[in-house]
Amino acid sequence: MHIPDGMLDTKTFTTLWVGAAGGLGYAGHWIRKHFDQSKIVLMAVLAALIFGLQMLNFPIAGGTSGHFGGGALAGLLLGTWPGVVVMAAVLLVQALFFGDGGITTLGANIVNMGIIGALVAPFVYQLFQRVSSSSLSKILGAALGAFLAVVLSSAVVAIELWASGSAQFFAALTAMVSWHTLIGIGEAIITGGIIAYIVKVRPQILDDGEQTTKRSFRSVCVVLGALALLATGLSFLASSFPDGLEFVYFDMGVGTAAIPETTIVPALMPDYVLPGIANETLAGVAAGVIGAIVTGAFLWAVISVLARKRRQDDKRTEN
C-alpha cells in the first residue's frame, strides 16, 4: 500500500502533498487547541507502539503475509486528527529510515493511510454506536471500520496510480481492492481484538477517543470530500489518461505503440504539462505547482469557512 517514489507524476504527488500538509496543519491546530501536554506525550507513546505492532504479520494466501497497519486503531483511540498526526509520524519514519514508501509520495501515503484510515474507522464505529452502545457493537464497529479503511485506501491508491499514468485503471483497482480485502480482514481481526480487550479491561480509553472524534468529525468530512473532488477534477483537467512516463517511451522509440485514449473532457493542460514550456519535466513541474496552488487555495477556503462556523457555534454556546 505504501506508494514508492516515481510511481506518481508531479501533478498528483504535489496535489496530495498539499492535501496532506493542509490536513496535518489543521490537525496540529486542532491538537494545540484541545490537547494538553500529557495527551501529546500519550500520542507519542502510542505512535511508538503502533510502529512496534506493525511487526504483527498474518497469513493471507499462497504463503504470503500482510502486516498490521494501525491507521484505524490510531483514529479509534485518539480521535481522527490526533490519529492523522500519529500515522504521519509513523509513515515519515518508514519512508525516511526503511525505504517503505517514497519521499515525494509521502503526502499521498499520509492521505491514503493516515487521513482516510483515521477518518473511516471512527466514522463506522460511530454509526454502530448510534445503533447500540453494547460491547459487541463496539467490537464490530471497530473491526468493520478497520476493514473498510484498508479497502477504501487501496481503492484510492489505485485511482492515484491511474491518474499518474502508472497503471491501467480497472486492472489496478481490481487487483488492489481484492488483495487488500484479504489484508483488511487481518487488520479487522487484530483491531477488533484490541478493542475487545480494551472494552473488557479499560473501556474509558475508548470513551476519550469517541469524544475527540465527535468534535472533529464534521470538519474531517468536509476537508476530505473537498480533497477528493479536487483531486478528481485535477485528473480530468490534465487528460482522461495522463501519462507521466510517455516521454520515456517515445525516447526509446516504443511510444508509437500507445493506444489513443478517449478524452472525456478537453484537456486544459494536455498530458498535464503546461503548453509553451519546451522541457517536459519543467512543464510537468509547472503544472504541479499550479495544482498545488489551486489545492492550497481550496483547502484554505474550506478551513476558513469551518473555523468561522466554529467561532459562530462557540459564540452561540456562550450566549
Partner 1 sequence: MENSLSPQGKLLAALIAVLGIVLAAPHTPFTAGAVFALVILLAIIVQVPVFKLLLRSLVVVPVAGMISLFYPLRFVASWHAVGIAEAYVNHWQGMVALILTPWLCVLVMMLLVMSTEQADLIYALGRLRLPRALLLLLSFMYRYVDVMRAQLQAAHRSLLSRAPALGPYRRVLLYGNLAGSMLIRAYDRGERIHAAMLSRGYTGVLPRLHEQRIHVADIALIAVSMLFSIALIGYH
Chain positions 211 to 270 lying near partner 1, rule: CB under 8 A, are 241, 243-245, 247-249, 251-252, 254, 257-259
Long-range CB contacts (within 8 A, 24+) of 196-200: 196/135, 196/139, 199/135, 199/138, 199/139, 200/135
* Shortest Å distance, C-beta 109 to partner 1: 12
SS3 14: helix
Burial class (CB in 10 A: 0-12, 13-18, 19+), 88: buried
The yes or no reply on residue 42 touching partner 1 (CB under 8 A) is yes
Binding to partner 1 by residue 96, rule CB under 8 A?
Answer: yes
Strand 65-67 relative to strand 57-59, pairing: antiparallel
- Out of 108, 148, 194, 220, name the contact with partner 1 by CB under 8 A: 194
Among 18, 20, 78, 89, binds partner 1 (CB under 8 A): 89
- Binding residue (CB under 8 A) for partner 1 from 16, 20, 47, 286: 47
> How far apart are the C-alpha atoms of 190 and 147, rounded to whole Å?
10
Alpha-carbon Rg for the chain, nearest whole angstrom, is 21
Minimum separation from the CB atom of position 161 to partner 1 (A): 6
Q: Please answer whether residues 122 and 213 qualify as being in contact, where contact means their C-beta atoms are separated by less than 8 angstroms.
A: yes
175 vs 228, beta carbon nearer partner 1: 175
Interface characters, 273-312, with partner 1 (x: CB under 8 A)? ------xxxx-xx---------------------------
**Residues binding partner 1: what is the number (CB under 8 A)?**
90
Measured CA to CA, the distance from residue 232 to residue 101 in angstroms comes to 23
Is 3:151 a contact under the CB 8 Å cutoff?
A: no
Stretch that binds partner 1, among 32-40, 209-217, 291-299, 311-319 (CB under 8 A): 32-40
Q: How far is the CB of 300 from partner 1 (least distance, A)?
A: 18
Nearer to partner 1 (CB atom), residue 81 or residue 128: 81
Distance set, CA 119 to CA 19, 33, 74, 122 (Å): 15, 19, 10, 6
Number of CB atoms found within 10 A of residue 176's CB:
21
* Binding of residue 114 to partner 1 (CB under 8 A): no
Looking at beta carbons only, is 282 or 305 nearer to partner 1?
282
In the complex, minimum distance from the CB of residue 116 to partner 1, in angstroms, rounded to a whole number: 19
> Residue 183 is placed in which grid cell?
489484508
Cβ closest to partner 1, residue 40 vs residue 305: 40
Binding span for partner 1 by CB under 8 A among 23-31, 122-130, 145-153, 294-302? 23-31
Using left for φ > 0, alpha for ψ between -120 and 50, and beta otherwise, residue 78 falls in: alpha
Q: Does residue 178 touch partner 1 according to CB under 8 A?
A: no
Q: How many residues does the chain have?
A: 319
Contacts with partner 1 in 49-68 (CB under 8 A)? 49, 51-53, 55-56, 58-59, 68
What 3-state class would DSSP assign to 21? helix
